[in-house]
Chain A
Amino acid sequence: MTVPKRLIIEFEDGSKKAIEFSQLARPVWLELSRLELCLPPPPISESLKNYLLLRWKNGWQEVIGVDKNSVDLLRYYILERTEEVGRIVLNANEDYPILLTVNRLPKELNRLMIVGGGNAKGYHLDPNVKKEEGGKIEHVEYDKADRYFQPQPEGQGEVWLTEVIETLKNELSQKGLSAEKLLNEDPINRVKEYKDLAKAISLRATEKQEDVYGLIQLMIEKMVARNR
């Protein structure tokens, strides 16, 4: 493979758009190289205008490039604060569990639902065990792997999901839409509708907006299946 020159995007109607590789943001170029579509971007050949050289007491040194003409230290301070971070660990029947992070008010999370093709699973999250280890505290609210832990029955999932689906159904009827009709819309219009529906039923994405649209689509498909 040689050095890539241009990235060309071809559309369904045959039209094309192109961009010089040199204009791509480095992370985009790196991502394309990870997909084995091209070589990774070359290491920077010219020096930036300034570099910060940081040196720790034990001699450890790090460098940060700052591509600005004139740089002067304005402030350096250390922010020390106790952070609460929630960790969701999912068993996916693979070699490794899936680890997700909850930064938004983790102690106030009290319900978790897993919605997929089969029946929804519902979990109550309540303070259960407090584990202290050095300066760290773990407030365990659910731990299936703990032999003393007695989880509440998971059968609530379908009830909870039905509540959400009913709210969605009401919104659809207020908009004069049916689940079937919405699924037959073209993808662009469907996403517009999903965006409005998400807002109406207070569904927000933690990291990716496509997750919200995906869940709405799944619920609409379930609606259609239940209507049959």
Chain B
Amino acid sequence: MSIEVKWAGFDFGQCLMDPSGLRNYLVIGDVCKEIGEPERIVERIHRYRVLKEKYGGYGATKEGHRDEILKYVFENNAEAMEIFGVKEQEYLKVPEGTEEVLQYLRDHGVERAVVAELKKTLGPIGTDNVTRFLEKNNLLNYFDQVITPQGCVELRDGSVDLRYKGKTKEAGTLYDELAKDLSKRGINPTDAVMIGDKLSTDITPAKKRGFYTIQYTGYIDYGRSEDADFVISSFLELKDIVRGINR
């Protein structure tokens, strides 16, 4: 079975961005080696793990508590923190087949956007985690927009639509805004598909608003839900599922 759509939204964390190459002994290890303090790798990894336990995950720690990483892990060494920012990007990977699938969707006339729960304020393209990752991995040109609770970035000109500000995927308000936005371009939610891993943010709220949903389990499998129309473990499977509506 396949679906015909005009628009496809991709979740970012653990979906378009595969963090399986991110390991503490690589990131923290490289930082310590770069600043000439390899003797402190073990201690700093331990401190970083303590922060992870405090905030419930590395993602939450990195997104919301970078000041504490600087203070608690790197003892206010700004150079170390700067290198940390570079290194954590360096070890992030793009799942196999991503570029091929994005090219396929483009060829089939399907608009493409990243739909991410970015918590930090948006700056110019290439300064936030999402666009920096896309830029580094030569994926920026495959997307038209990056939609986040901080605003929707038009990648063609860098303009930011602040109507999305404060709206989230989990509450579904971001999808409400997205549905309104798409309808102005003649795209109904039933002409659109959301691809993501997390049921509570990517699948259920999108499905409730009429979007097609595809659960990606290539990095994390959160279990089954009737709200997911399809389940894929590789982006390459999208080529069998998604067709452009006018093709």
Contacts and interface: CB of A to CB of B under 8 A. Distances in A.
Real binding pair: yes
A198 B36 contact: yes
B3 interface: no
Interface of B is mostly: helix
A207 B53 contact: no
Contacts of A74: 53
A198 to B, nearest CB: 7
A195 B36 contact: yes
Interface string B1-43: 0000000000000000000000001100110011011110000
Contact of A209 (B25, B26, B37): B37
B25 A208 contact: no
B90 to A, nearest CB: 11
Interface in A169-208: 195, 198-199, 204-208
A104 B38 CA distance: 13
Given A74-B53, A75-B53, A207 B39 contact: yes
Interface string B32-75: 01101111000000000000010000000000000000000000
Interface residues of A, number: 15
B39 A212 contact: no
B34 to A, nearest CB: 6
A215 to B, nearest CB: 13
A107 to B, nearest CB: 12
A105 interface: yes
Interface string A24-52: 00000000000000000000000000000
Contacts of A104: 25-26, 29-30
Contacts of A198: 36
Instruction: From A74, A105, A195, A208, name the one whose CB has the most chain B CB atoms within 10 angstroms.
Output: A105
Nearest to A105: B26
A103 interface: yes
Contact of B33 (A75, A105, A195, A205): A205
Interface string A99-120: 0000111000000000000000
A48 to B, nearest CB: 19
Contacts of A199: 34, 36
Contacts of A212: 36
Nearest to B38: A205
A105 B53 CA distance: 26
11 contacts: A75-B53, A103-B29, A104-B25, A104-B30, A195-B36, A204-B30, A204-B38, A205-B33, A205-B36, A207-B39, A209-B36
Interface of A: 74-75, 103-105, 195, 198-199, 204-209, 212
Given A199-B36, A204-B30, A209-B39, 14 more contacts: A103-B25, A103-B29, A104-B25, A104-B26, A195-B36, A198-B36, A204-B38, A205-B36, A206-B38, A207-B38, A207-B39, A208-B39, A209-B36, A209-B37
